[in-house]
């Protein structure tokens, strides 16, 4: 009989311990009660993706032909997260050739910043050491930049700065208006 009593006592202790482990501590009356929305869920729920939502726009981008005598148009797709990023992406499209027949005129420039205020796009660029073009190349570069950027209807003007400063000419050949208007 003694063995049977010990078995009951052990079983009772295990039952009390098991019930007590699953119980949450009762909050005092002065503490705020957590809502059901803040309670952790026991079932796995999908976590939202941290990937940004990218927007896409097709634009006409302008390049030199192989003989460096004419501008050629290519349709390219730019991808950007925020609306203000589309100008920098359009600039980047001008820096890389979409095919072997197109020569990127802005390849020798580095974009430091692109900002829009009241319809004026301000591009701050720097010239790479090997980025110098002749007078014809500089004229086509400015034309390609204007034609590409003025596709964005909200832009009324473009001001191009060289290392943060307004300069008379980007490469020393063509006048650079401040700003270039539509």
Per-residue pLDDT of the chain (182 residues; tens, 9 = 90+): 545 544 445 444 444 444 455 554 555 555 455 554 555 555 555 555 677 889 999 999 999 999 999 999 999 999 999 999 999 999 999 999 999 999 999 999 999 999 999 999 999 999 999 999 999 999 999 999 999 999 999 999 999 999 999 999 999 999 999 999 99
Question: How far apart are alpha carbons 170 and 133 in whole angstroms?
Answer: 10
Give domain status of residue 75, yes or no: yes
Q: What is the pLDDT of residue 118?
A: 95
Indicate whether 11 belongs to any domain: no
Q: What is the pTM of this model?
A: 0.71
Angstrom distance (rounded) from CA 111 to CA 75:
21
Structural domain total, the chain = 1
Residue 77 lies in a domain: yes
* Residue 150 placed within a domain: yes
Asked whether the beta carbons of 56 and 79 are under 8 A apart, the reply is: yes
What pLDDT score was predicted for residue 16?
A: 44
With H, G, I as helix, E, B as strand and everything else as coil, classify residue 57: strand
Residue 117 lies in domain = 55-181
Rounded to an integer, what distance in angstroms lies between the CA atom of residue 43 and that of residue 166? 61
Q: Quick check: is 73 in a domain?
A: yes
Is residue 81 situated within a structural domain? Answer: yes
- Does residue 123 fall inside a structural domain? yes
By DSSP bridging, strand 109-117 and strand 157-162 are: unpaired
pLDDT of residue 51: 77
DSSP assignment string, 121-179: EEEEEEE-TT----HHHHHHHHHHHHHHHTTSTT--EEEEEETTB--S-SSSSS---SS
């Amino acid at each position: 009989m003694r063995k049977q009593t010990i078995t009951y006592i052990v079983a009772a202790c295990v039952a009390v311990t098991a019930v007590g482990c699953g119980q949450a501590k009762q909050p005092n009356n002065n503490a705020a009660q957590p809502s059901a929305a803040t309670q952790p869920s026991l079932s796995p729920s999908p976590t939202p993706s941290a990937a940004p939502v990218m927007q896409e726009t097709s634009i006409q981008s302008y390049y030199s032909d192989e003989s460096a005598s004419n501008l050629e148009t290519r349709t390219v797709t730019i991808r950007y997260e925020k609306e203000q990023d589309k100008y920098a992406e359009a600039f980047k499209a001008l820096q890389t050739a979409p095919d072997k027949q197109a020569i990127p005129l802005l390849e020798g420039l580095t974009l430091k910043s692109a900002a829009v205020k009241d319809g004026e796009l301000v591009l701050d660029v720097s010239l790479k050491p090997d980025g110098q073009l002749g007078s014809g190349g500089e004229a086509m570069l400015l034309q390609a930049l204007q034609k590409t950027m003025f596709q964005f209807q909200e832009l009324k003007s473009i001001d191009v700065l060289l290392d943060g400063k307004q300069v008379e000419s980007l490469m020393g050949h063509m006048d650079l208006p401040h700003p270039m208007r539509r």
